[in-house]
Structure 1
């Protein structure tokens, strides 16, 4: 197959390099279009009305000074316009993308942009926290092999339009399972106030999360990943009206123009 690889950690990141090397070893043609640096938590942000520079840094590898979704759009609209890929694979992300965290994920954002353009898209993430060296290489290689298996068997799967296959790989994976993507965040939300020595009317905050939720609902990917299970979930790429629309009928005719 011809595969377009994107990510949010940058084209130099270990995850995308392991993924590209492994998928290439299977005989796939690989084109990498990825940010020129770290772009995590960019979600589906895109750069409008601002020039984007794309640099060819190696054969089949393009570095973009934009967001992950920019990379997918440029890769599909321009760089590979005459030779479109069979699949778009975003990752391997350095860290998990489960539960409501997919809303913030640049990795999922790149795959979502591809899905909205009508391409089959996979977002692949691995738990790389506190790993380095051979251990980091091993978890990324395991994730890459799972992607390879999915691609090999994709012909037996009815791939839904406007949806992304979201795959998450824990450090000590012992099973592959279906999961619901939703519910909680992997991390307990935290906003830390930092001190400012310069201006009394200035406050500085740091948004993030370090501690993880304990597993609860074992149908959810957030919990299953904590039980060392690789999770597979289709997630919707398109936001659209819901069943709650009917609840708005009570307002029609009562709002003054």
Structure 2
């Protein structure tokens, strides 16, 4: 893997064309290249994961000289940007984000931000997801300056080093101002000790029940070395992710049990 001096960069996100984090991502990309293109969902697609729009037409609105909004998911946006909307050569790099909120631990399985980077990787383009952690408490402010301060230098180092073709890089910036960020830590994907996502039952003014998916701000006790622990401790987390979900230890055990002709009663 090698990058030209002025790489062509495709930007995407899952927070939509009006997202504040997109401005941060554009600032990061501008420090790396002047050949930057943007193709994002027209509306917020948080939690969309790797979903594709299969049963509705996709429409594109050009929002700037090199900017497009797609009526679909992050996966749709990256697919259309690479295959149709960007003329000439394909992008050298896909950057997805900067997401409003961290994408760590189990988040990566339903994150549209990670999905945008994953689609770029699937199409053979080195891809990086970037997210800015913040507190869910009322009145909390997002510290976009942290991602903007460290984003380009970290991406530049990654581009110089390279990484395998079947890997995407997931970067999470902690909920701290730049001067309080401790260090960069290369981490593994963590796991929360409790399920923080829940469906809250409510009743509308007509007396009909409905549900609202939300997050519980439950205390966590992550393990040292994982992404959740790093971000909680004020470090920038850099995690290499890949698509293969096969658990090889169980795979080997089941081969001995079930391999060969199918069992019959």
Query: One fold, TM greater than 0.5?
Result: yes
Within 5 Å, give how 1:214-233 maps onto structure 2.
214-233=220-239
Matched, 1:142 2:146: yes
SS at match of 2:91: coil
Equivalent pair of 1:88/1:122 in contact (CA under 8 Å): yes
Identify which of 13, 17, 21 aligns with 1:11: 17
Conserved 8 A contact 1:196-1:204:
yes
1:88 aligns to what? 94
1:141-180 Cα distance to aligned partner (Å, 9 max, x none) = 3213433113322344131111110000012122211111
Of 190-199 and 119-128, more deviation after overlay is shown by 190-199
Check whether the contact 2:32–2:156 (CA below 8 A) recurs between aligned residues: no
Greater shift, 167-176 or 103-112, is seen at: 167-176
Matched residue SS, 1:92: strand
Runs of 4+ with >6 A deviation: none
Between the aligned partners of 2:111 and 2:117, the Cα distance in structure 1 is: 10
DSSP 3-state at the match of 1:10: coil
Q: Does the Cα contact within 8 Å between 2:94 and 2:127 map onto a contact in 1?
A: yes
- Whether 1:189 aligns to 2:197 is yes
How far apart, in 2, do the equivalents of 1:186 and 1:160 lie? 32
Residue 43 (structure 2) aligns with: 37
Match of 2:133 in 1: 127
Is 2:78 the counterpart of 1:76? no
- TM-score, scaled to structure 1: 0.87
SS of the residue 1:224 aligns to: helix
Aligned length: 253
- Residues 132 and 175, structure 2, Cα contact 8 Å, conserved in 1: yes
Gaps of 5+ in 2: 1-6
1:153 equivalent among 129, 151, 157: 157
SS at match of 1:160: coil
Aligned-partner Cα distance in 2 for 1:82–1:118: 16
Select between 62-71 and 82-91 the one with higher mean Cα deviation: 82-91
